[in-house]
Structure 1
């Protein structure tokens, strides 16, 4: 019997050769450098083609979900809590300027609260400042409103920002012998007015009906406000339920960021319509 042949058979029965064991061990290691040169990535492994495509698809799905969720979150927030609003005109200068982006607090008048004299508010002027046009497209209005919230369009033409000067029951007169507005017999020192403007160049004497507001801009010479609609149905009065919210913050530009100028103590001494204070 051939001795060499016997050794060969016996060695095979003991298992793979040493070189084969090393290759097997290297192929199972996590170090790519330890793999044989002809060993490719297996399907489904992290570095493989299938794994890479799966990872990219997963990343794209996450990005799509985020892109869809962000506008939805902004719309929900603006519908119920805080709505951004672009100031389109100079009627509220110097308090608010053209191009200012403000945040309107939509919770300010919930839970029974109502606008107070001196508040700067955004309201829907439909039926008071602009005609209530029948037959308008509600879907188009909704889409434009959503685009305005996202900063993709100007605010609706029916939205206005003014200062509350008179509330329900107030007697508002222009002007006293010193050229000042009077509310319930008390003259106002309106320090927030635009420099050079008179409190009003249009005389009026009105009583604000309950549930409505008398609105005026701070730039009186350039503001189309309640005074401009005195001879129209409603007399320029804005229903309280048309108020969208109170302007609490200027968000842009950064140089003007912060709370807008308030009314100071202009209305502090004004009594209630029945003559009582506080």
Structure 2
């Protein structure tokens, strides 16, 4: 008796021969369309050539270097012996610019890098690196550049700086500075505030104008700093008063790391003696 005779629905019969499709467990058949999202359905990826990837990475690195130089860090070298003993000629240093963002100004005790205000450096000191590669690296902040000076801020707007008390100490707004921790101990220099080769003459500078600083090197007997550009009393020169002050907008940033040579790596901080200095009058 057939299923039809029993009143049951007829069953499909599978024809013999090769199948046109496979079961779900076997995956799609030969003639089936690929499932959405399958590997066969994805477009082919196009990879950059190795040289193109290298150029792209180099371009990104250069952009980042320029941005870092403009906003955050920059490398410099010490151009003279004026900051000994802490910083020696040809030392490599890093300058950070964040401290002076958003109206921030240099503070007393900061070691700063600043552009030549005009006539502070000779031609050799202003020249900077030579050679195509060093010059290109200097442009993006990866190599020390020339035309800059490194000094310590002694006075800010409104301050009066005097040389010197009976112990040979610089006074800022009447407060003597204890500078033994960073000023070079030079037997030929009898005080901490001389002009070059002139320690016996007392002098006074300030009040420091608004938006300016008064700077000195730590090697006080060998530093062409603010004291050298002061107009000396009764001197017959064409000195213009005020040339001893450095404009804040010439300051690149604060030195915070002695980077090289490696064995002298050090972090630079503001000496505690400046915390005791009282505020000066309003800058003029």
Please, what TM-score do these two structures have when normalized by structure 2? 0.66
Indicate if the aligned counterparts of 1:190 and 1:263 stay in contact, CA closer than 8 A. Answer: no
Q: In the alignment, what sits opposite 2:259?
A: 251
Q: In the alignment, what sits opposite 1:190?
A: 179
How many angstroms does 1:258 deviate by?
A: 2.9
| 1:211 counterpart = 2:201 | no
CA displacement, residues 141-166 of structure 1 (integer Å, 9 cap, x when unaligned): xx997542557865222x11110000
How many angstroms does 1:214 deviate by?
A: 0.3
Indicate if the aligned counterparts of 1:83 and 1:149 stay in contact, CA closer than 8 A. Answer: no
Distance change in 2, residues 1:154/1:252 (3 Å): closer
Q: In the alignment, what sits opposite 2:157?
A: 168
CA displacement, residues 65-97 of structure 1 (integer Å, 9 cap, x when unaligned): 223332332122111111111222221111212
SS of equivalent to 2:112 = strand
| 1:155 counterpart = 2:139 | no
Matches for 1:254-265 after TM superposition, within 5 Å = 254-260=262-268, 262-265=269-272
Indicate if the aligned counterparts of 2:75 and 2:143 stay in contact, CA closer than 8 A. Answer: no
Distance change in 2, residues 1:151/1:212 (3 Å): closer
CA displacement, residues 185-222 of structure 1 (integer Å, 9 cap, x when unaligned): 11111121012243123332011112110000011111
Q: In the alignment, what sits opposite 1:95?
A: 86
SS of equivalent to 1:268 = helix
Could you tell me which runs of 5 or more consecutive residues in structure 1 were left unpaired when the two chains were aligned: 1-53, 132-142
Could you tell me which runs of 5 or more consecutive residues in structure 2 were left unpaired when the two chains were aligned: 1-45, 123-132, 196-201, 232-238
Distance change in 2, residues 1:146/1:126 (3 Å): farther
How many angstroms apart in 2 are the aligned matches of 1:259 and 1:125? 25
Q: In the alignment, what sits opposite 1:224?
A: 224
Indicate if the aligned counterparts of 2:65 and 2:141 stay in contact, CA closer than 8 A. Answer: no
Distance change in 2, residues 1:228/1:93 (3 Å): same
Q: In the alignment, what sits opposite 1:199?
A: 192
SS of equivalent to 1:118 = coil
Q: In the alignment, what sits opposite 2:59?
A: 68
Please, what is the CA RMSD of the aligned residues? 2.7
How many angstroms apart in 2 are the aligned matches of 1:81 and 1:153? 15
CA displacement, residues 113-158 of structure 1 (integer Å, 9 cap, x when unaligned): 2111101111112347369xxxxxxxxxxx997542557865222x
Q: In the alignment, what sits opposite 1:180?
A: 169
Indicate if the aligned counterparts of 1:129 and 1:226 stay in contact, CA closer than 8 A. Answer: no
SS of equivalent to 2:267 = coil
CA displacement, residues 90-112 of structure 1 (integer Å, 9 cap, x when unaligned): 21111212222211111111122
How many angstroms apart in 2 are the aligned matches of 1:184 and 1:128? 28
How many angstroms apart in 1 are the aligned matches of 2:194 and 2:258? 29
Distance change in 2, residues 1:152/1:264 (3 Å): closer
